[in-house]
Amino acid sequence: MRVRRNSIKMRTIICFAITLICVCILDTILSHNVEDELSTTHGFAHKFNVEQIYCYDDVQLPKPTVGLLYPRASETREVNSLDGVWELVRGNASDPLQGIREKWFGRSLRSTGREIIKVPVPASYNDLTVDQELRDHVGTVWYERHFFVPSSWNMSGTRTWIRFGSIHYACIAWINGQRAVKHSFGHLPFEVEIGRLVKYGQENRISIMVDNRLSNSTIPQGAVVNESSDNGSVAVQTFTFDFFNYAGIHRSVQLYTTPAKYIKDIELKTQVNKQMGRIDYRLWIGNEQEQDVSKYINVKLLDRDRNVVTHQLNRNYHNGTLLIPNVKPWWPYLMHPEPGYMYTLEFQLMAENGLLLDSYQLPVGIRSLNWDNDSIYINGQPIYLRGFGKHEDSDIRGKGLDNALLTRDFSLLKWVGANAYRTSHYPYSEESMEFADEHGIMIIDECASVNTDLFQPELLQNHMSYLEQLIHRDRNHASVIAWSIANEPRTQKPEAKDYFGKLANYTRSIAQGRPLTAASNVNKPIKCMMSAFLDIIGFNRYNSWYHNPGRTDMIINPMLEEALSWRQLHQKPVIVFEYGADTLEGYHSLPTFIWSEEYQTTMLSKHFQAFDKLRKLKWFIGEFVWNFADFKTEQTYTRVGGNKKGVFTRNRQPKYSAYLLRQRYHMLAYKLNNASLPTDLFNYIIDFGL
């Protein structure tokens, strides 16, 4: 009996082991197909259609960012720019981390024996040369330049910092061969104190490794696949977003100083009540010790002419309130005769003996922002958004900061009568945010989550961190009226519900008095697992282009029906974030034909009819054309030289439709806000009195 029982026990163990092995093999196969079998087209099509439900219980909330004030010179601070010509080396695509292993950061890039390319910073590196391999490079590149730090900065009580406006995407920076800082997200700033790393009054070297590869857990997502070519296996970056994947040092690199004890961070909240303005401020003091109580803050509010409007001496220097009688509120463009009014708020950190410890000035627009289930309100007035989806994109420079281009873009925005745009599909430069403040252009501020899929916990962690850094950066801008948490995520998937529920709940907890929105493109509103968590419903729809192409008689009713469906489902304000049609500059057709300038104009006009019917219902609050200007995309047979949906060309010249849109936007401002009409809005045709 004992032998038989042992035999049965052994067979049971063997069966259990075989079953376990089979389960593990099956799990490996399914896991491999879900996570790794990416299509060569976009990187998100799975061989097996297996639904994956994730658990987010272990996802950590991001640590709040403190610091990162935009560098501004003052009585106590100096700023030196490192913008200019740098040296670049393209890494080995088949061995992206070769430079780390061989410690390129510890010596001059010229000593590596690799080709040195002189490149401007800021700029994307892709289009700077005629080298196709550099344009399409996947993996790492290395930047280097030499610089001096003034001897005067090497004094007791002075701290030296380096700040990067944006690098795409992941990067590591070294100063004189010593690691200084690492950052993972594109489009956002980061900084580090480098006093211990630099040689004052001498030459220093900065080395930066930039990695443009995207994965399932990066923001945005992508996947690198190996494909066969005539020259062997090559790495190919796949993604589903419809814009070129530019990379490099895209915004300014700056050295700056602060005193030992300094104003580290500032948070502002503003309100307007009739003629009274209010600013609630909160300060963080760097290098503050608990026993340091012999300090106070001197606060001044200056108007546009630099006159002191009000001032305050506050011994509770961590927070306070300013009241501004007869305030000049911040208003959107064409909503008031003096839009975009900006004050300057000056903070002076003082020692008890009257010695100035630190000084920082911050532009501020004073306005109230509220919303309900029908609209958004600026200073108590409902707003109607007339705008665009845009891109940071230009010839040669790519996504690199270009103040000349910013000047042109904002001139065109005002010429066409727009009052808003969405930062599709990532945060724009800090300089552009200041332009928006000053011109009265409202911003839907969007994070870089575009076409989000495969809702893994690690992705949620990064998504939360990205939004936290974005909100921290832009919280003090009067122009920012909403946060967009994603563009066209795959929200028809069941796992999207829990993902976006947790993401929205977290983001709302740090939203700094702004509503949450996003752009959905599901074919039926009821299928969207995200929109129930939003404050403002936004959707993208291309009737007569991706849907029923060529049929301009199939626009009005579908648009009305879809907007009504969103409203009935959620009882929230509704915005159309994208609609449009590709248009080849100079191509004309009568009768209208797809891709012609006449077709784009007719398409816009039909949408205007639908929007006017929706406006009467009061809860429809905005129309955004896609796109402001033509922009570059990856190479595909559906894109001739890029995406051509712009009403302006890539070099910012108007297509035929821009004139119609200008008439639309200015007439809306005239009807809704009693704005004055430009004298050249309509060309003279005839005097019917003659």
Which structure tokens are listed for 669?
């401002």
pLDDT value, residue 88: 98
> Which of 373, 330, 282 is closest to 619 using CA atoms?
373
Do 391 and 409 have their domain in common?
A: yes
Mean pLDDT throughout 671-683?
Answer: 96
Assigned domain for 12 exists: no
pLDDT averaged over every residue in the chain: 91
Mean pLDDT throughout 672-686?
Answer: 95
pLDDT digits (tens, 9 = 90+) for 102-125: 999 999 999 999 999 999 999 999
pLDDT value, residue 514: 97
Distance (Å, whole) CA 2 – CA 25: 34
Do 469 and 589 have their domain in common?
A: yes
Phi/psi for 437 (5° steps) reads -55, -50
Structural domain of residue 138, as residue ranges? 78-212+247-259
pLDDT value, residue 4: 38
Asked if residues 255 and 162 have their Cβ atoms less than 8 Å apart, the reply is: yes
Assigned domain for 225 exists: no
First to last CA, the chain: 121
Cis peptide before 341 (omega within 30 of 0): no
Q: Does residue 156 or residue 366 have the better pLDDT?
A: 366
Buried b (16+ CB within 10 A) or exposed e, 551-570: ebeebbeebbebbbebbeeb
Cα 568 → chain centroid: 30
Q: Which residue has the tokens 């030196």?
A: 80
Looking at the DSSP bridge assignments, the partners of residue 313 are 298
Asked if residues 519 and 488 have their Cβ atoms less than 8 Å apart, the reply is: yes
Do 554 and 478 have their domain in common?
A: yes
Do 575 and 612 have their domain in common?
A: yes
Distance (Å, whole) CA 221 – CA 458: 12
Is the model's pLDDT at 604 over the cut of 60? yes
Q: Work out the pLDDT band at 52, boundaries 50, 70, 90.
A: low
CATH number at residue 95: 2.60.120.260
pLDDT digits (tens, 9 = 90+) for 341-354: 999 999 999 998 88
> Which of 239, 286, 236, 249 is closest to 265 using CA atoms?
286
Which structure tokens are listed for 128?
């700077």
CATH number at residue 669: 3.20.20.80
Do 470 and 582 have their domain in common?
A: yes
Assigned domain for 507 exists: yes
Distance (Å, whole) CA 357 – CA 113: 48
> Which of 282, 252, 240, 291 is closest to 264 using CA atoms?
282
Mean pLDDT throughout 141-169?
Answer: 95
pLDDT value, residue 291: 53
Do 532 and 460 have their domain in common?
A: yes
Distance (Å, whole) CA 96 – CA 102: 12
Phi/psi for 9 (5° steps) reads -60, -40
Asked if residues 496 and 533 have their Cβ atoms less than 8 Å apart, the reply is: no
Residues forming the active site: 488
Do 355 and 458 have their domain in common?
A: no
Looking at the structure of the chain, the number of domains it has is 3
Is the model's pLDDT at 25 over the cut of 70? no
Do 626 and 544 have their domain in common?
A: yes
* pLDDT above 90: percentage of residues in the chain: 84
Do 534 and 446 have their domain in common?
A: yes
pLDDT value, residue 36: 32
Asked if residues 362 and 347 have their Cβ atoms less than 8 Å apart, the reply is: yes
Is the model's pLDDT at 44 over the cut of 80? no
Is the model's pLDDT at 14 over the cut of 50? no
Is the model's pLDDT at 18 over the cut of 70? no
Distance (Å, whole) CA 445 – CA 450: 13
Q: Which helix H or strand E contains 664, and what residues bound it? A: helix 656-673
Q: Which helix H or strand E contains 162, and what residues bound it? A: strand 158-164
Cα dihedral sign for 183, 184, 185, 186?
positive
Q: Work out the pLDDT band at 293, boundaries 50, 70, 90.
A: low
> Which of 584, 572, 580 is closest to 607 using CA atoms?
580
- Concatenating the DSSP letter of every residue in 231-252 gives TEEEEEEE---SS----EE-S-
Q: Which residue has the tokens 């469906």?
A: 565
Distance (Å, whole) CA 477 – CA 365: 7
